[in-house]
């Protein structure tokens, strides 16, 4: 869940920044001059929507490390860290993926996550609380779950879904924002400050609703990763 929340928060922030960029670059003004050519609007929405999702994916490892304070294990500082590396390496080999980075982050709560844009250069991170409170068999089961996420390409799948949803969020926010601008701000301009405020607020609301869909699909993928972890390697690999 931690990796999904980070991804969604980053995605919403990126989309908002791209919307501001569209305004500064004159994209909204161009669309307004075209009388809201819906084909052009849909193309713009797809470019910025998919682009925002993949930018979020590209930032996922860096953001996860920075936000959790995760320390990547380069040289094991003890037998526990050495065991952790060996276990991840074995599971990654069984799953047919490249060795991911392995990190530990400071948290008393048992937690773990996997993220990354590529199956062969992902990140698996576990909390200090997980290592302290769970047996090695239990930790190994958790690691198998996270390796299953990577092998199944869950982050890329979620990115594609998020990109499609972003496209419709950007598209609909400009249509709904224009309606709100005319009704609330009594303006027929699709480039004024009232229109911009309407679009941003509508985009945030629609973005939150779209996140519910992403989280629902993510829950489905969690069950699939559970099945893969229970077998010791990801579902669908045999």
Which residue numbers are catalytic? 146
Number of H helices, E strands in the chain: 8, 4
Contact (CB, 8 A) for 121 and 98: yes
Concatenated DSSP letters of 160-177: HHHHHHHHHHHHHHHHHH
Query: Token pair for residue 177?
Result: 């924002």
* 3-class SS of residue 80: helix
How far apart CA 12 and CA 134 sit, in angstroms, is 35
DSSP tag of 77? S
Q: What are phi and psi of 74, to 5 degrees?
A: -100, -45
């Amino acid at each position: 869940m931690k990796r999904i929340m980070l991804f969604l928060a980053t995605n919403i922030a990126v989309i908002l920044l791209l919307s501001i960029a569209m305004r500064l670059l004159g994209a909204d003004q161009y669309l307004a001059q075209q009388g809201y050519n819906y084909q052009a609007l849909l193309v713009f929405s797809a470019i910025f929507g998919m682009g925002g999702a993949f930018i979020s994916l590209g930032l996922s490892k860096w953001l996860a490390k920075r936000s959790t304070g995760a320390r990547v294990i380069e040289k094991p500082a003890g037998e526990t860290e050495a065991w952790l590396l060996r276990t991840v390496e074995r599971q990654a080999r069984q799953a047919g993926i490249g060795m991911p980075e392995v990190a530990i982050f400071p948290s008393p709560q048992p937690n773990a996550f996997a993220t990354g844009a590529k199956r062969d250069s992902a990140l698996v991170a576990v909390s200090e609380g997980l290592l302290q409170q769970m047996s090695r068999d239990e930790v190994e089961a958790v690691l198998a779950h996270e390796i299953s996420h990577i092998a199944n390409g869950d982050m890329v799948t979620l990115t594609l879904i998020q990109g499609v949803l972003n496209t419709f969020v950007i598209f609909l926010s400009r249509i709904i924002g224009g309606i709100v601008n005319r009704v609330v701000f009594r303006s027929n301009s699709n480039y004024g400050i009232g229109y911009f405020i309407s679009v941003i607020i509508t985009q945030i609301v629609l973005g939150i609703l779209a996140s519910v869909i992403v989280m629902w699909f993510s829950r489905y993928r969690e069950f699939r990763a559970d099945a893969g972890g229970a077998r010791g390697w990801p579902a669908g690999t045999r």
